[in-house]
Amino acid sequence: MSKRNALTIVGIDLAGSPRRPTGVCVLRGLKAQTQVLYSDEEILDLIRQTQPALVPIDAPLSLPAGRRTIHDRNGEHYRECDRELQRRGLRFFPITLGPMRMLTERGLKLRAEIETLGFRAVECFPGAAQDVWAIPRKQHDLEGLREGLRALKVKGITDAATNDELDAVTGALAGQWFLMGKGEMLGGEDGIVMPLL
């Protein structure tokens, strides 16, 4: 396998189903290139081509303690990273809620496939990162989010970029900050990458 591109991050705003659009951002330095993909194979092909240093994914990539699968009703309801989000007053959907189960299953499978290729996949939460950076979440002000990311010096964000692509940019930037020592892993090794204030 060729050498990793140290300044390249692939951020993924994963959809629960491959029939729905997944926003993807290849962030090289502060230059973003976004697109919409659908299948896991399309996503994996992009990762093979770009050889990123990190792949932040907006989807649950771990299970609460004591659960073997997302459908297992034994064990905890929240993960340690979820509890840390609660402590910080950052809003999120618990991964054991019905609509989150499909996304969690896809996220766990994709993470395993990415790691089999030799790349590091980590969980990100664009909405919480946007809260930390004091820029709007997509559901509140899409144009404000676009301008907020540009104010963080990200270049290449087009006016046509979808809300999924903007969340992918956010995830990629949070991953970059983490690698540069300006981020943290909420909830320990298997937690959520977040920017520091």
| Contact predicate 183/194, CB 8 Å | yes
pLDDT of residue 3: 53
In this predicted model, what pLDDT tens digit does every residue of 107-139 receive, in sequence order? 999 999 999 999 999 999 999 999 999 999 998
- Residue 1: the pLDDT is 37
Contact 140, 127 (CB under 8 A): no
Q: For residue 28, is pLDDT > 50?
A: yes
Q: How far apart are CA 68 and CA 74, in angstroms?
A: 8
* pTM confidence score: 0.93
The pLDDT tens digits for 43-98 are: 999 999 999 999 999 999 998 877 777 777 776 778 999 999 999 988 787 887 77
Ordered by where they begin, the domains of the chain are 5-195 (3.30.420.10)
